[in-house]
Structure 1
Amino acid sequence: MAFSGKYEVESEKNYEAFMKKLGLPSSTVDKGRNFKITEVQQDGQTFTWSQQYPGGQSITNKFTVGQECEMETMGGTKFKVTVKMDGGKVVVDFPNYNQTSEIVGDKLVEVCTVGGVSYERVSKRVA
């Protein structure tokens, strides 16, 4: 499937401004800054989306597009959401922000937006 693969962060834009707007504690901001790997397994409309952090910590969210599920944020907050697809983009409305993820060429492009501030992370496929 289009999203399946292992991705390594290649570039980021507006990380500090986005995190400041969210008002997250510095420990969470620092953890996200060192984030490097995303692994996605897609089986039709069902996804397993894992993010690996230095030190062995990871977060894995499993969801099926169009069905309510429980997800966890980088800060450890759990919430219920119905993930959507919009023109090939996975769309998630987190408690404090909106995130879209799409495949552009061989890259995973994730854009998070809160209060007019957008953060973009581009990751290259490594497997």
Structure 2
Amino acid sequence: MAFAGKWQTESQEGYDAFCKVLGIPDDIIEKGRDYKLITEVTQDGDNFTWTQFYPANAQVSNKFTIGKECDMETIGGKEFKATVQMEGGKLSVAFPNYHHTSEISGGNLVETSKAGSVVLKRTSKKL
């Protein structure tokens, strides 16, 4: 149950380059650059609800069970099928344009997204 709780972005590396690779418009990148993203995770065994709250009251909530295919949604509203895996304490999932992992490290939520050679690393503290 290490992931359960409410988390707030403390730092991020590679944000601009990652957003550009995904084709996010410059004005949206600018708005989100210093935004303190809130991530709320509920966990019941292998069942998760993972919700992220973005600027302008936008939010994306995905429900999944480790090892089972599910319907997920991107921040852009694109729906896709994915299977979230748990590997060595890390959650791992392939989004349409990138690969995402989440882990608890030093009491923080560390999320790493990779699109080719471009990496976004976001570290969040528990609230």
1:19 is aligned to 19
The secondary structure found in structure 1 opposite 2:12 is strand
Unaligned runs of 5+ residues in structure 1 are: none
Query: Over aligned residue pairs, what C-alpha RMSD do you find?
Result: 1.4
Does the CA contact (< 8 Å) of 1:47 and 1:64 recur in 2?
A: yes
Does the CA contact (< 8 Å) of 2:9 and 2:123 recur in 1?
A: yes
State the distance in 2 between where 1:104 and 1:119 align: 16
Q: CA deviation at 1:55?
A: 2.6
State the distance in 1 between where 2:58 and 2:87 align: 30
TM-score with structure 2 length normalisation?
Answer: 0.92
Q: CA deviation at 1:31?
A: 5.7
Q: Deviations over 1:71-127 (max 9, x none)?
A: 11111111000111111000010000000000112100000001111100000001x
Residues 62, 27 of structure 1: alpha-carbon distance in 2 compared, 3 angstrom cutoff: farther
Amino acid at match of 1:13: E
Q: Deviations over 1:3-45 (max 9, x none)?
A: 0010010000000011112222345535643352000001111
Does the CA contact (< 8 Å) of 1:21 and 1:115 recur in 2?
A: no
Does residue 39 (structure 1) correspond to residue 54 (structure 2)? The answer is no
The secondary structure found in structure 2 opposite 1:18 is helix
Matching of residues 1-127 of structure 1 within 5 Å: 1-26=1-26, 28-30=28-30, 32-33=32-33, 34-126=35-127
Residues 72, 30 of structure 1: alpha-carbon distance in 2 compared, 3 angstrom cutoff: farther
State the distance in 1 between where 2:117 and 2:71 align: 26
Q: CA deviation at 1:47?
A: 0.5
| Equivalenced residues, count | 126
Residues 68, 12 of structure 1: alpha-carbon distance in 2 compared, 3 angstrom cutoff: same
State the distance in 1 between where 2:30 and 2:72 align: 21
The secondary structure found in structure 1 opposite 2:16 is helix
TM-score with structure 1 length normalisation?
Answer: 0.92
Amino acid at match of 2:64: F
